[in-house]
Structure 1
């Protein structure tokens, strides 16, 4: 097979004393244009087949049935060709993949992805840059820095802001809590946790979160050696947003017990309800008690794109740090997240020099290195390119229209649910999540949980509609996560009717 520019260059190979192209024909053929084109073309065909032919969000297959098909796979014996490989992957994966792009997928915070970002994925994987240092990704480094600057500007931060792309919201939240802890100990005690570990008083550190905040707060407190006991859950209002009076009382109560408040995590878009904590009021209390304010806007970051609903996160610009998940409300493929700080010098504490990678003597103003801002990733994908493609081709305004569409659809869905006597809507949503339950008059309230569990399971295995669920005060609820701008009012009504239809089987 004729070699091309995709393989190791012929000239370089001929200059080697140890290698000869003719001795390694199989290796060099893997870099040929023909091999590349065939693999990419077949992958594209399978993707298009999935997008065009998928009529429902899920096949409904059970783990046991799917697992049986894996028993015949011998990973020690390679398949004969790409035809066999794609056929196997189609059978084991693609045919049963959850179709987030369909309007009747309405379960979790999984967005349909925009096409420009998919094109970027091809470049990201094929070129395989690593975002450690400038010499590994020159243009990529500057693109990522520019996108961080743009995002910080959308938040309302000034020129001193900075940040880094991360693997996801949980990692970004970890960075926020780490900086809060480490800067507090440096300022209060002159103690470097980076060098010397947690001080003796660390068991008294306290972090305040809403009782409906993301579970990563507890996990991150554990990872940082503070333990879950450091996380104080603050009561919420009827819309499940953090109450300012409850936050104030919680901080005072911990102080009275001799504990040490170090941070408050505000949520801009709760996972269960899509509501936004009162950011401006929380910022005032954070300033009053001299504690770090982090905003988890993994979901609510999409509000930055829309002028119509931007006011819902007023006060985010007062935070010390912010979590952004582009792979949620910016309609990007997984993974694409960011951690942004209001003051870039706060990130200096993360830096650790390695002579082979980011030596101390290097001028990082001249040759920037994103590794200096990352806590858990050395080799890191160039995920920023997906957002670059998206913004440069579609623009903020178009993404904002998508966000407005899902918010408007959620508002109409809330009206449908609220006006139907067979349903019980728990609360309104600032963004696009609705928690409700099927509650027909002929059913006793004691049966509501069993009825809604039955409906969810039937919907899942039918595969026609995928909804999520949650528990509130021990009661089981269904959940619509409206995250697709193509979901229409008709789709919403159809899904509600299917809930009723499957619910009828509960009485038989």
Structure 2
């Protein structure tokens, strides 16, 4: 039952990513069937994406990613024995398509380009349509790490921020972020299910040929694991209970909350806002504070049990990071947080 349920959930989410029937690179070709496999999270999804690229393009495939990419991508290249990745500048936090084009022109192929939809530090989204066009021009395979940003797919209001996502060959999703699932809740969606053929594995006591031919589920080639939890169940329950519109409302609430918090910071003379938020992450810092003071404020609030703030380095400075994931956060909560930070900043 869990195996059948997993097939339904992964198929539905893959179609949500790739929007079948639109034609061209931005859609699904007639011979392609999108699908997804369950993983432990974004890190494993990125690892499998690189594995599939290596098997599709050969061991000489070169990973090219932005300076804003998640650390798991170059680490996966190392684990798989690939060449040292090429890092492309990401001015203002997003990968630069012109710099990507220059890098691919200078670098012998084959290439695997990894873009990001929802960076770890600031929740920014790379310019996916432009990146996809560069990849198309160079014949490069495209992977998008949307572990954070994929939740926007459920929102009619914010979905357009992911324009170009459907041009990818593979996409990382992690519903323990903007899907409100306990870990593990990762997925790797692929444009063409045929890409997963390289993962096929036979162990007679698990997936004997005659059992598979008789119609029994065979998931041994859809995971790097053998025994694993039925993580598709909790995802299915959430999708069945809330549906796309229900999840979309939750996504919109936290993204709207981030914009409200950013406005509070912008209007407060004692704080500096890094930039308008793209997702539900806001970077800010006390005005005129030293980096050591910013770090100390975060640790104080954490050890006192009053607030859990992240940290990020951007523009050569240290920033406090608020990532809103609780849809029930209210304006009073946001104002109280700002007061807490202000009261604990050294004068």
Taking structure 1 as the reference length, the TM-score comes to 0.64
Distance 1:160 1:365, change over 3 A: farther
1:338: which partner in 2? 187
2:89: which partner in 1? 235
Distance 1:358 1:153 in 2: 27
1:207: which partner in 2? 63
Distance 1:181 1:157, change over 3 A: farther
Shift of 1:473: 4.5
Alignment of 1:231-270 (within 5 A): 231-238=85-92, 240-255=93-108, 260-270=109-119
Alignment of 1:252-331 (within 5 A): 252-255=105-108, 260-331=109-180
| Secondary structure of residue in 2 paired with 1:356 | helix
| Secondary structure of residue in 2 paired with 1:277 | coil
For structure 1, the 5+ residue unaligned runs are: 1-138, 186-197
Find 1:148's aligned residue among 4, 7, 10. 10
Alignment of 1:183-202 (within 5 A): 183-185=56-58, 198=59, 202=60
1:107-161, CA deviations, whole angstroms, 9 ceiling, x for partnerless residues?
xxxxxxxxxxxxxxxxxxxxxxxxxxxxxxxx11111111111101211343711
The answer to whether the 8 Å contact 1:207/1:261 transfers is no
1:155-180, CA deviations, whole angstroms, 9 ceiling, x for partnerless residues?
13437111211111110111111111
| Secondary structure of residue in 2 paired with 1:329 | coil
Distance 1:157 1:263 in 2: 22
Distance 1:434 1:233 in 2: 25
Distance 1:499 1:415 in 2: 16
The answer to whether the 8 Å contact 2:129/2:163 transfers is yes
Shift of 1:407: 0.6
The answer to whether the 8 Å contact 2:13/2:36 transfers is no
The answer to whether the 8 Å contact 1:164/1:370 transfers is no
* 2:302 is equivalent to residue 460 of structure 1: yes
Distance 1:226 1:469 in 2: 31
Distance 2:173 2:280 in 1: 17
Shift of 1:287: 1.5
Distance 2:235 2:113 in 1: 29
Distance 1:410 1:352 in 2: 45
* 2:253 is equivalent to residue 405 of structure 1: yes
Specify the structure having the higher radius of gyration (Cα).
1
Paired residues in the alignment total 336
1:191: which partner in 2? none
Distance 2:50 2:214 in 1: 27
**Regions of 4+ moved over 6 Å:** none
Shift of 1:433: 0.8
2:243: which partner in 1? 395
Distance 1:494 1:364, change over 3 A: farther
Alignment of 1:412-423 (within 5 A): 412-423=260-271
| Secondary structure of residue in 2 paired with 1:476 | strand
| Secondary structure of residue in 2 paired with 1:335 | coil
Distance 1:365 1:474 in 2: 61
RMSD (CA atoms) = 1.6
Distance 1:392 1:364 in 2: 30
Distance 1:364 1:387 in 2: 28
Distance 1:394 1:388 in 2: 10
For structure 2, the 5+ residue unaligned runs are: 21-31
Distance 1:245 1:364 in 2: 50
Shift of 1:421: 1.9
Alignment of 1:360-439 (within 5 A): 360=209, 363=212, 366-375=215-224, 377-439=225-287
The answer to whether the 8 Å contact 1:426/1:435 transfers is yes
The answer to whether the 8 Å contact 2:18/2:191 transfers is no
Distance 1:364 1:225, change over 3 A: farther
1:161-215, CA deviations, whole angstroms, 9 ceiling, x for partnerless residues?
1121111111011111111111002xxxxxxxxxxxx4xxx3xx42111211110
